[in-house]
Amino acid sequence: MSESVRLVCPAGRKYVELWGGYALVALGAVVAVSGSGHWASIVLGAILILGGAAAAFDGHRIKAPVLEVSEDEFRYERGSYVVRVPFNEIGSYYVLPGRIRSLGLCDHTGRPKRFPSLKSRRTSRTYLPLTGMTNPAKVESFMAVAGIPPRKRSLTV
């Protein structure tokens, strides 16, 4: 593979908080301006603007998971949490179903690889969390372009 392949998982909560926050800011501005200068409408508008700004700020802080495969490594990034695995150590993958989907990587013998926890806890996990809006078909096509076979079709299992 000569170029890197990249997949950004959609984060639904991010978009809801951004659009909801911007809508509250706009609604607050309309309420404050159209209230004919009454102190209650100005206070309500200010509260709506502050709440909307807080929601939009929180939406901007949410980091979506990014999967990237280059010539020599597989990389998973979610905020400041980064996992790098040499490409030649990956034998297959599997996608865990559920409300929040996850991606598991296996070595060439079919054993799941272990990764450190996301929150710097002492436990480790065998999967990398994606988002609930991530389509498993997109993950499968991404891994196919990267050249990593699914676990059920790997040569060693």
Domain boundaries, the chain: 10-61, 65-153
**Which residues neighbour 37 within 8 Å (Cβ) at sequence distance 6 or greater?**
none
Inter-residue contact 144 to 114 (CB < 8 Å):
no
Is residue 75 over pLDDT 50?
Answer: yes
Higher local confidence (pLDDT), 24 or 156: 24
Higher local confidence (pLDDT), 16 or 148: 16
Tell me what the mean pLDDT of segment 17-36 comes to. Answer: 92
- 3-class SS at 156? coil
In the CATH hierarchy, which top-level class contains the domain 65-153? mainly beta
Most confident of 37-41, 45-49, 80-84: 45-49
Please give the pLDDT value at position 24. 96
With a pLDDT cut of 90, the percent of the chain lying above it is: 22
Higher local confidence (pLDDT), 35 or 67: 67
Please give the pLDDT value at position 63. 87
Is residue 19 over pLDDT 80?
Answer: yes
Please give the pLDDT value at position 154. 43
> How far is the C-alpha of 137 from the C-alpha of 98, rounded, in Å?
14
Q: Residue 119: pLDDT band by 50, 70, 90 thresholds?
A: low
Torsion over CA: 6, 11, 14, 18 (sign) = positive
> How far is the C-alpha of 77 from the C-alpha of 127, rounded, in Å?
13
